[in-house]
């Protein structure tokens, strides 16, 4: 059979989880990572990253709104997915995730954005006209109280939500790793390290995205990039990337040392079918190179211009590397036979429901939503209207 080598069981020949299932953990990871970056400013008082705080929240929201779409498009009957809210089965990880998603969306992200923007929303509802005014008025929920005391309450509530939000963000993406890590029949996936690796890679991709989006939007607005902010974000990216890479290597070394019955088969796969996407793209191009680039900015005394270029390049390579990691997990886990004697091939459709075009649209769509959100709720520092006295008082 074309594309099949060795011995495959009949039900393994065709891959069931396509590029959209690769995209899903990638998008969810960006959400969790962006939120954790935002929490640095709010909970851990990292003042330097303040210019990215609101942008990180909006980025998280834009990607979270689209994150379930790849799953919906994968389903034969997407309209039935709502039933997991109506009659959830407690033994189904997918059903429980529906609630994790909803909790994270409504109780964490939307709430935190609303509280943080409330003063702006009230002011905008008074200064705008027409439909925009109606939208802002609806967002105020009929309350225009922006007294110092009210804003202080918002600040306290926002802080509390961020504190709750951090474990929620871990839960959201840890779950995605859990879904794969708990599949005991698949040795490529079945590892208790999977949720942890997914969380750290999520943080890496989310921080890289916010860094890139911040740099791009500031550049497109012809404003000066706050280098102290970008340097700090890049430093966090560098540290977390090292932890992420260490965990992935730990997983790898553990597999090599354990050498269970699947090892030879998986090792062969990594050296053949997955060589380019795993060794070349994920490890060298998407992990080692950005770590070295980011490391160079920490060690060498580079100009602002050089650092900006390095951050841009490292950020793009990071996203390519994390996408390759999701690809290697999802697609790689379906390329080998449970007999450990055969391998199949993934043929990606181009203009099909689960093909390349759909994947590109679903990747661009969050950026369009982000553009709308940025227009609606400007995240720029000059519009950042939280009075410092209120912030100081809240802490």
The footprint of other proteins (CB under 8 A) covers 7, 9-10, 85-87, 89, 106, 111, 114, 118, 140-143, 145, 147, 149-150, 153-154, 157
Task: Please check whether residue 362 is in contact with residue 27, taking contact to mean a CB–CB distance below 8 angstroms.
Answer: yes
Of the pair 40, 161, the CB lying nearest other proteins is at 161
CB of 143 to other proteins, least distance (A): 4
CB of 171 to other proteins, least distance (A): 20
Q: Over the range 205-220, which residues count as b (16 or more CB within 10 Å of their CB) and which as e?
A: bbbbbbbbbbbebbee
Q: Measuring CA to CA, which residue among 168, 175, 246 is closest to residue 204?
A: 246
CA-only gyration radius of the chain, Å = 22
CA-CA distance, 297 to 274, in Å (whole number)? 31
Would you say 16 or 301 has its CB closer to other proteins? Answer: 16
| Count of helix runs (H) and strand runs (E) in the chain | 16, 2
Q: Taking the complex as a whole, how short is the minimal distance between the CB of residue 99 and other proteins, in angstroms? A: 12
85 vs 216 by CB, closer to other proteins: 85
Q: How far is the CB of 161 from other proteins (least distance, A)?
A: 11
Q: Which is nearer to other proteins, 161 or 169 (CB)?
A: 161
Give the nearer residue to other proteins in terms of CB position, either 265 or 282: 265
Residues 4 and 8: their CA atoms lie apart, in Å, by 7
CB of 68 to other proteins, least distance (A): 17
Judged by beta carbon, residue 150 or residue 320, the one nearer other proteins is: 150
Please, what sign has the CA dihedral across residues 37, 41, 45, 51?
A: positive
Minimum CB separation of residue 111 from other proteins in Å reads: 8
**Is the CB of 162 or the CB of 209 nearer to other proteins?**
162
Cβ nearer to other proteins, comparing 82 with 257: 82
Q: How far is the CB of 72 from other proteins (least distance, A)?
A: 18
With a CB cutoff of 8 Å and minimum separation 6, the contacts of 98 are 81, 84, 85, 88
How many angstroms separate the CA atoms of 162 and 53, rounded? Answer: 12
For the CB of residue 140, give the shortest distance to other proteins in the complex, in Å.
Answer: 8
DSSP states of 174-232: HHHHHHHHT-TT-TTT--TTHHHHHHHHHHHHHHHHHHHHHHHHHHHTT----HHHHHH
Distance CA 13, CA 343 (A): 8
State the first-to-last Cα distance of the chain, in angstroms, to the nearest integer.
65
- 13 in Cβ contact with 346 (< 8 Å): no
């Amino acid at each position: 059979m074309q594309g099949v080598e060795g011995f495959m069981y009949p039900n393994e020949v065709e891959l069931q989880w396509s590029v959209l299932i690769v995209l899903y953990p990638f998008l969810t990871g960006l959400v969790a990572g962006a939120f954790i970056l935002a929490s640095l400013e709010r909970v851990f008082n990292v003042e330097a990253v303040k210019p990215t705080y609101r942008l990180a929240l909006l980025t998280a929201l834009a990607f979270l709104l689209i994150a379930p779409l790849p799953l919906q498009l994968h389903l034969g009957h997407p309209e039935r997915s709502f039933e997991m809210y109506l009659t959830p089965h407690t033994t189904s990880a997918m059903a429980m995730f529906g609630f994790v998603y909803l909790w994270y969306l409504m109780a964490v992200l939307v709430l935190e954005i609303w509280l943080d923007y409330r003063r702006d929303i009230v002011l905008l509802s008074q200064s705008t006209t027409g439909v925009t005014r109606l939208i802002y008025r609806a967002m105020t929920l009929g309350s225009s109280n922006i007294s110092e005391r009210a804003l202080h309450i918002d600040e306290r509530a926002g802080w509390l939500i961020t504190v709750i939000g951090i474990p929620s963000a871990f839960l959201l993406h840890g779950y995605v790793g859990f879904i794969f890590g708990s599949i005991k029949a698949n040795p490529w996936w079945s590892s208790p390290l999977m949720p942890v690796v997914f969380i750290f890679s999520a943080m890496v991709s989310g921080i890289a995205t916010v860094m890139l989006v911040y740099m791009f939007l500031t550049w497109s607005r012809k404003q000066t990039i706050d280098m102290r902010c970008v340097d700090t974000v890049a430093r966090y990216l560098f540290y977390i990337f090292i932890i992420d890479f260490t965990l992935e290597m730990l997983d790898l070394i553990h597999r090599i040392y354990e050498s269970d019955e699947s090892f030879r088969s998986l090792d062969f796969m990594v050296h053949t079918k997955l060589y380019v996407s795993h060794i070349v793209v994920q490890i060298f191009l998407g992990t080692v190179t950005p770590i070295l680039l980011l490391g160079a900015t920490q060690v060498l005394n580079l100009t602002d211009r050089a650092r900006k270029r390095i951050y841009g390049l490292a950020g793009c390579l990071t996203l390519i590397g994390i996408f390759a990691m999701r690809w290697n997990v999802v697609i790689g886990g379906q390329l080998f036979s449970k007999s450990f004697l055969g391998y199949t091939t993934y043929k990606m459709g181009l203009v099909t429901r689960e093909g390349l075009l759909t994947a590109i649209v679903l990747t661009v769509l969050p950026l369009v939503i982000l553009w709308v959100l940025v227009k609606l709720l400007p995240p720029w520092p000059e519009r950042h209207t939280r009075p410092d006295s209120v912030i100081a008082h809240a802490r």
